[in-house]
Each structure stands twice: as structure tokens, then as C-alpha cells.
Amino acid sequence: MALNQALSGINAAQSDLNVIANNIANANTTGFKGSRAEFADVYAVTGINLSATAVGGGARLVDVAQQFKQGDIQTTGNSLDLAISGNGFFVVDTGNGYAYTRAGAFHQDSSGNVVNAEGYKLQGYPYSTASGSFNTSTLTDLNLVTAQSSATATANVSIAANLPADASVPTVTPFDAANASSYNNSTTFTVYDSLGTAHQATAYYVKTSPGNWDVHLVVDGQDAGTSTLTFDSAGKLSAPTDGKRAFNSLTYPNGAASQALTLDFSKTTQFGTGYTPGTITQDGYTAGALASIDIDSTGVVTANYSNGQSSKIGQLAIANFQNLQGLRQLGNVCWMSSTDSGTAVMGTAGSGQYGSIQSGSLEESNTSDTTEQLVNMIKAQRDYQANAQVLATDNTLASSLFNAVSR
């Protein structure tokens, strides 16, 4: 019987070594979770009052338990490298259902989908521009190709300038943009049409009397009309009261829609100092291509465009389970839900039971520190050697018995 017991011990030690070897082999696998071999004794059913003298039948492997403790997080600088600090899994679409992973080494494929090395598509909640919120009732592939910024025509321009109170009325009339003697000062800025084409606009200031100025707007040589500004004795704008002046509609030869500009002079003053063009802001911009992606700690994905604009694309979905040990391992550092794990509890990073997301980082294997694994390997090796010694001893005893009987 000792042979069978020692053999079961050897098999158990071998299983332990296999698990440890797999842990060490994956010490550099991103998002890998190590396992632990768990054993139980083998005990035969005995009759009444015989258990006191019964001897066990050895050991057996009962479970290879996954250890889901947090791995170290390493900074990479790649915005599509993601790590979860705390509980939760990324959700990926395998093509045959959803899988769950802690390995966040994602990249963009030829179709613009964010995928992992196996081509599994990262899932998130879509953003609705109409409601200004994320639709957490549905999952969708995170796609970056559709994240383009269209052009927006300029409609409003804000000018914060100072017109000199001591300026003289020009002696040359009428106003002529080509003749600098017919105006006092000018401010040049850029506006965009509906196609995103840039146009040069210039506001020419002509003093007509103390505290009164005409503003002539010219865009790419087109006269957009004239408006007046009136300042009080304190140098503040008194008319128009809201500071805004609308100019004539403009048409362009490139097929863009007609454009009407409103200039806001509410921050323009008339003080005794010299002319200062100040600052100019306008609400138009050209079309923009995707320049970069930002992912914050809650998983909100924001696209940044070459035209300086940004927009939200979606929010990463995070899954968690009541029983992590019940997850079914797929390989490729992915798991699937099972009846033992329960269905995935979906949510977003940084809320409730879910950890936060670190963009530009990866979670290392939780067996990357091999010291513990090497210690466990030495223990398993000693167990193997001890059981092998039992086999050798039992064989020696059996040989002695056979030799004595044969005499």
C-alpha cells in the first residue's frame, strides 16, 4: 500500500511543479494571474469502530486555484496601453461572445477598432451627443476611425482692443482699405467658412467724432459693411449696449455656404493710451484629423483633433464577478463567465466596486517576482524526493522480504 501512497504523493508533487512552472513561464506575460495547486488526502471508507486504525490512501489534486491578486503596474507611455488598478476586467468581443481580461496591451487595427494581440475588440459604452451622456445599456466596439472632427463656420468673433481717445479724424475720405490715411487702426484675424477654408478678415477703425467710430469689415477683399461704435466719457462702450454688431452676409467662390459674421466689441475700450489690438477669439475651425487619444481614470475616451478640438467617443466597460474562482480560463490571458462565476456585473471604472484605469500603463504578471515561485518549487521538489525515497524504502523492504521467503 505504501507504493500507492508514495505514487500519489509523487503525482501530487509533479502537479504542483507543473503549476509552478507555468507561473514562472508567464512571469513576463502582461495581465497573467498565477495559480496554486491545492490538494486533499485520500481516505478509504471504514467500518464501524475501525477508523482509529485506518491508514490514508495518499494525496490527490483537487483544484488549481487562480490567484487574482493585483500585479505591479508599469508605465509605458502608449495611450492605448491600459491597466486596471483595483477590481474589474476589460470586456472584449472574441467573435464568439464576450471574454474578460486584465491584459491591456491594445492597439488600433486596419478598421480603426481597438483590439488586443488576438484581435479581440475592446468594448465600451457609446456616447450620445444628443443627451450628452453615455448609453450604459449597450456595448459597442471602440472605434477610432469614425472619430473625425468636421469643419465649423465662424459665426461670432470677440475683439478686445483699445482705440486711442486722442486719435484724429482721418483727413482722407471716403474709407479705402488700400489707403492707410483713410482709417486710424486695423485688426486682422482669421475666420473659417462651412468647408473649413480659412479667410483673412480685417476690421478697420475710422474715428468720425469724439467717442464715435466706424468699423469697416473686409474679408478676402469683400466689403462686409460698416457698423458704428460709441464710447462714453469713461472710455466704456455705450452703443451697441450688448457690444455686438452684425455685418453683411459673405459668399465664397469655393462653394461654401454664405456666411454672416457678428463681431462682439463688448470688451473694446477707448482710453487715452495708444491703440492695442488686444485679443481676438472666434468660434469657427477647420476640419481636423485624429491626433491623439486620452483615456481618463473613469475610462472616458476623448479624441483630440489636429484643429484643436476634442470630443468624447465612449467610455470603457468594466466587468466584475461574484466568484472569480469560477471563471473559465480561455488562455491568451482571457476568461469567460460560467455558472460558478455568475454573470458579469457591468459598470464603469472608478465607481462602486470597480478599480480605476491608468492609461499609458500595463499590469504586469502577478508572478513577475519569481522569488516566491522558486521557494514553492524547492518545497515541491523536496516533496517529490521524499515520496521517491518512500518508494525506494518500500522496494528495499519488499526485496528483503522476498529474499527471506525464498530461502
Going by C-alpha positions, the residue among 89, 145, 170 that lies closest to residue 348 is: 89
Query: Which CATH code is given to the segment(s) 156-282?
Result: 2.60.98.20
Torsion of CA 325, 331, 332, 338, to 10 degrees: -50
Domain boundaries, the chain: 2-69+366-406, 74-142+316-363, 156-282
Diameter of the chain by CA atoms?
A: 142
Q: Write the pLDDT tens digit of every residue in 70-126.
A: 999 999 999 999 999 999 999 999 999 999 999 999 999 999 999 999 999 999 999
> Does an H or E element contain 3, and which?
helix 2-25
C-alpha separations of 149 from 36, 156, 295 in Å: 50, 19, 18
Q: Is-contact 109 115, C-beta < 8 A?
A: yes
What residues form DSSP beta bridges with 320?
345
What confidence tens digit (pLDDT) does each residue in 369-385 have? 899 999 999 999 999 99
pLDDT at residue 406, as a whole number: 65
Give me 275's grid cell.
491703440
**The pLDDT value given to residue 135:** 95
Report field, pTM of the whole predicted structure over 0.75: yes
Q: What is the DSSP pairing of strand 107-108 with strand 334-336?
A: unpaired
Quote the pLDDT of residue 394.
72
Q: How many whole angstroms separate alpha carbon 221 and alpha carbon 177?
A: 9
Q: Which residues of the chain have pLDDT under 70?
A: 1, 44-54, 146-147, 401, 406-407
